[in-house]
Chain A
Amino acid sequence: MKDVSFGQYYNTTSFVHKMDARVKILLSIAYIVAVFLVKEFHFYGFLAAFLFIVLTTIFSKVPFFSVLRSVKGILFFVIFSAVLQIFFNTAGEVVFSWKFITITDKGLLKAGFIVCRIMMIVMGTALLTLTTTPVELADGIESLLSPLKLIKFPVHEFALIMSIALRFIPTLMEETDRIIKAQKARGADFESGNLIKRAKAMIPILIPLLVSSFRRADELADAMDARCYSGSKGRTKYKKQRITYRDIIGFLVLAGLIVGIVFLNGV
């Protein structure tokens, strides 16, 4: 449980850490678009994206292992979508067939393609959360969404909810771990039985977790009120972000990536 690094800030100072969170968010979005630009079966595009990840990781001083680990959290999803492609894609030439199972070359290629795409996206977004504190992230989103205030969208509240959610991830994970252990000590079994039985076995974990989350939310609300919180009105910001040369370099590198991908698509 403690291995999940998604949404976990890696504390250091680096080129990437010092970049403006708003820029990093925009670049991440642009990066995701770039990954989607990679044409089907043109794997060189992924190589370029991977190169970009490696480069950014080096400049962020985050151990590459931490970036890689972010994939672990969604490993099941990756495998699931790959398996779906392998077994159910019937286009292309058949390379293997046994009873009702047919595996085609297109299916295999598509599976590989999807795995690459998901991994590139997850690693890219993990880099964002590894180099940006949740508060910066929330502030960045708040700032980017601020035009929406015109249509009365509660931008500030939305950003605050997100940063608090991120802040509580480790706390709730620890709590889940403890509840699982406690119920295991009472003989609970989460590993055996069919799907329905396993789903039912989750109840003794989910209910205490839900109850405690409500209690935490209640206490947090009181603590925030006690610290003079009264919405965005009259509120100032401790950390103001500014665009620096780093952000411009970031823009240029990413622009390079997009151009590279478009070029490689043609190869």
Chain B
Amino acid sequence: MQIVCKNLTFAYGKRGVTAVKNLSLTIDEGEFFGIIGETGSGKSTFIQHLNGLVKPTTCDELTVGEFNLLDKKCDYKKLRSKIGMVFQYPEYQLFAETVFEDVAFGLKNFASLTKEETEKMVKEAIEVVGLDYEKIKNKSPFDLSGGQKRRVAIAGVLVTKPEVLILDEPASGLDPEGKEQLLSLLHSLHKSFVKTIIMVSHDMNTVVEHCTKVALFNKGEIYCSGRPSEVFFKLEGLEEIGLEQPLTGYLKKELELKGVNIESDLTVDDFVYNLVKKLKQGS
């Protein structure tokens, strides 16, 4: 499913604050798309447009695959089963008595399935996030550890087998190991279980490491977008819009100032590889 958005503007109330201004963005199928920006830059408001939770004030085009969100007859329920959304701290939405019921919540809302079918899909969703179905299905979600809760919440979104998965700050509050595990989970989900991943984040190092494309939001507008290596290398003044340079981008730029050009993208491994190559060439 390709996502196309043209000239989207969103304002709270009639004379309220404009959260998103004249925003145009296309996200192709198969991308691991990073959306970056500080709190209040409009990134959360934007992603909530993609499954119809927020309706644009004005917009020229807003389509997700075959769904036209500007059409009044748009089937939001069907759309929401195709485009899963994981909010920040998703574990705070858990409510059911058992993990099974919580994960099955989405399924029951979207379709009437037989007991066997439901069980099969819930099992698949729980296993795909790396949890033991038999061990966990009858536990109360409130008795799990923080990391497990978050996985259960993500399973609750994956259970309808969405084509697009949107995550708002999926790693916030996790310790380094938990963060690493979650990101590798997303990596393994990408292109196997879900086709497209859109991740909202303000951790630049994570974004350059995992995303195929990024868009930088600033004050409701797109500051710039493209492949991470293009975007961060060109940019000046990231600090001013509340962000930090990714480490590799910073080093690349500083070395260039010293007359050393390193041809690499911004993932750590590629940077290290090319840096070592350069050093060997030199000596």
**Per the CB under 8 Å rule, do A and B touch in the complex?**
yes
| 0/1 string, A19-63, CB within 8 A of B gives 1 | 000000000000000000000000000000000000000000000
| 0/1 string, A201-234, CB within 8 A of B gives 1 | 0011001100110000000000000000000000
B106 pairs with A186, CB closer than 8 A: yes
- Chain A, 218-262, CB within 8 A of any chain B CB: none
Which of A73-81, A82-90, A156-164, A175-183 faces chain B? Answer: A175-183
Indicate whether B81 reaches chain A with its CB closer than 8 angstroms.
yes
A187 pairs with B109, CB closer than 8 A: yes
Indicate whether B120 reaches chain A with its CB closer than 8 angstroms.
no
Q: How far is the CB of B207 from chain A (nearest CB, A)?
A: 23
Majority secondary structure of chain B interface residues (helix, strand, loop or mixed) = helix
Q: How many residues of B are in contact with the other chain, CB < 8 A?
A: 25
Quick one: closest A residue to B12, CB to CB? A2
> B106: which A residues are within 8 A, CB to CB?
186-187
Q: Which of A178, A185, A189 contacts B84 (CB 8 A)?
A: A185
> B249: which A residues are within 8 A, CB to CB?
none
Indicate whether A184 reaches chain B with its CB closer than 8 angstroms.
yes
Q: Which of B12, B80, B84, B92 contacts A179 (CB 8 A)?
A: B92
Known contacts A185-B80, A185-B85; decide if A204 and B90 are in contact (CB<8 Å): no
B109 pairs with A185, CB closer than 8 A: no
Cα separation A179 to B48 with both chains bound (whole Å): 13
Cα separation A150 to B12 with both chains bound (whole Å): 50
Known contacts A187-B80, A204-B105; decide if A182 and B95 are in contact (CB<8 Å): no
Q: How many residues of A are in contact with the other chain, CB < 8 A?
A: 19
Indicate whether A188 reaches chain B with its CB closer than 8 angstroms.
yes
A185 pairs with B95, CB closer than 8 A: no
Q: How far is the CB of B1 from chain A (nearest CB, A)?
A: 16
Known contacts A178-B87, A204-B105, A211-B142; decide if A185 and B92 are in contact (CB<8 Å): no
Indicate whether B274 reaches chain A with its CB closer than 8 angstroms.
no
A187 pairs with B81, CB closer than 8 A: yes
Indicate whether B186 reaches chain A with its CB closer than 8 angstroms.
no
Cα separation A185 to B77 with both chains bound (whole Å): 9
A183 pairs with B77, CB closer than 8 A: no
Majority secondary structure of chain A interface residues (helix, strand, loop or mixed) = helix
- Chain B, 117-144, CB within 8 A of any chain A CB: 142
Q: How far is the CB of B168 from chain A (nearest CB, A)?
A: 10
Cα separation A122 to B110 with both chains bound (whole Å): 41
Quick one: closest B residue to A178, CB to CB? B87
> B95: which A residues are within 8 A, CB to CB?
203-204, 207-208
| 0/1 string, A90-122, CB within 8 A of B gives 1 | 000000000000000000000000000000000
Indicate whether B9 reaches chain A with its CB closer than 8 angstroms.
no
A186 pairs with B92, CB closer than 8 A: no
> A183: which B residues are within 8 A, CB to CB?
93, 105
Q: How far is the CB of B39 from chain A (nearest CB, A)?
A: 13
> B87: which A residues are within 8 A, CB to CB?
178, 181-182, 185
Cα separation A185 to B168 with both chains bound (whole Å): 13
Cα separation A187 to B48 with both chains bound (whole Å): 14
B94 pairs with A186, CB closer than 8 A: no
Q: Which of B12, B80, B92, B142 contacts A184 (CB 8 A)?
A: B80
Quick one: closest A residue to B105, CB to CB? A186
> A182: which B residues are within 8 A, CB to CB?
85, 87, 90, 93
Quick one: closest A residue to B160, CB to CB? A187
Known contacts A2-B12, A189-B109; decide if A204 and B93 are in contact (CB<8 Å): yes
- Chain B, 38-89, CB within 8 A of any chain A CB: 48, 51, 53, 77, 80-81, 84-85, 87
Indicate whether B198 reaches chain A with its CB closer than 8 angstroms.
no
- Extra 9 A-B pairs, beta carbons < 8 Å, given A183-B93, A185-B80, A186-B105: A182-B85, A185-B51, A185-B157, A186-B93, A187-B110, A188-B105, A188-B109, A204-B96, A212-B92
Interface residues of A (CB under 8 A from B): 2-3, 178-179, 181-189, 203-204, 207-208, 211-212
Interface residues of B (CB under 8 A from A): 12-13, 48, 51, 53, 77, 80-81, 84-85, 87, 90, 92-96, 105-106, 109-110, 142, 156-157, 160
Which 9 A-B pairs have CB atoms at the shortest separation, nearest pair first?
Answer: A187-B109, A207-B95, A186-B106, A185-B85, A182-B93, A182-B87, A187-B110, A204-B95, A181-B53
